[in-house]
């Protein structure tokens, strides 16, 4: 591929771990991309549903102890909560290895224009949008919506497909987040990670490949050329990628 000017859409998951703090007040209509800001009503529905259940229990949130206490406190008061940019709020392995803060201004600007994060609370959001502290898996079931990936699917699909219409999409979402999006009218690929076996075999992996996923995302964003060439030139000692057309 020779077209270095193609616009990229890079779909990433949020992190379960999130930075504390922030300033200002969360507005569910936040979003530099109009189709993402259009998810405001559904975001508010999720926030109010979480408040109704006291922020969620151990079964809903998948954590216990101090993590559960913090999550319940955050989830109970989302509307008007302090905010940080998503790039600052999301921590964890993928985001540590993506390391947006260390990028050059040019690459950081590209990341801001290219990354969309698929989220149980937010539907889909950009990395420069300001978001609250929260904890909610896309695969969770929350009354009255039911399974969030299914409930979010029509709105998330429309938002992403509208935004990505003239872009090249690289989807590195986990399956529970991928379930919230049905590609339509977009071009690109989905990427999965496999671990190289001793005898040339490979197995699909999830959690263990998070660091590699972050490194791949950084490579794609800083590569000077077509996104498909970026994927073709990426390498890792432990993991390989399987690329499937959308």
pLDDT digits (tens, 9 = 90+) for 92-106: 999 999 999 999 999
User: What is the C-alpha separation between 137 and 235, in angstroms, rounded?
Assistant: 30
pLDDT band of residue 68 (cuts 50, 70, 90) is very high
Quote the pTM value: 0.94
**What is the pLDDT, as a whole number, of residue 19?**
97
Strands 202-204 and 187-196: antiparallel
User: What is the C-alpha separation between 120 and 138, in angstroms, rounded?
Assistant: 4
**What is the pLDDT, as a whole number, of residue 2?**
42
Residues in the chain: 246
* DSSP-assigned letter for residue 187: E
Distances (CA, A) of 206 to 12, 176, 244: 14, 11, 17
Beta partners for 190? 171, 244
């Amino acid at each position: 591929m020779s077209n270095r000017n193609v616009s990229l859409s890079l779909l990433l998951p949020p992190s379960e771990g999130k930075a504390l703090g922030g300033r200002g007040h969360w507005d569910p209509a936040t979003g530099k991309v109009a189709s993402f800001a259009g998810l405001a009503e559904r975001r508010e529905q999720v926030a109010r549903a979480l408040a109704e259940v006291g922020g969620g229990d151990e079964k809903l949130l998948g954590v216990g102890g101090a993590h559960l206490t913090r999550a319940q406190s955050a989830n109970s008061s989302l509307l008007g909560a302090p905010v940080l940019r998503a790039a600052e709020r999301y921590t964890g392995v993928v985001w540590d290895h993506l390391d947006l803060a260390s990028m050059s201004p040019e690459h950081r600007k590209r990341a801001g224009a290219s990354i969309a994060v698929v989220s149980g609370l937010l539907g889909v959001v950009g990395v420069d949008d300001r978001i609250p502290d929260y904890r909610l898996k896309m695969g969770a079931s929350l009354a009255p919506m039911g399974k969030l990936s299914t409930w979010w699917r029509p709105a998330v699909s429309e938002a992403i497909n509208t935004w990505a219409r003239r872009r090249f999409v690289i989807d590195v979402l986990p399956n529970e987040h991928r379930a919230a999006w049905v590609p339509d009218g977009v071009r690109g690929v989905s990427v999965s990670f496999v671990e190289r076996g001793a005898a040339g075999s490979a197995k699909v992996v999830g959690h263990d490949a998070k660091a590699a996923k972050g490194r791949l995302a950084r490579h794609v964003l800083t590569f000077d050329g077509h996104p498909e060439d970026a994927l073709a030139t990426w390498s890792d000692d432990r993991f390989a990628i399987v690329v499937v057309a959308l």
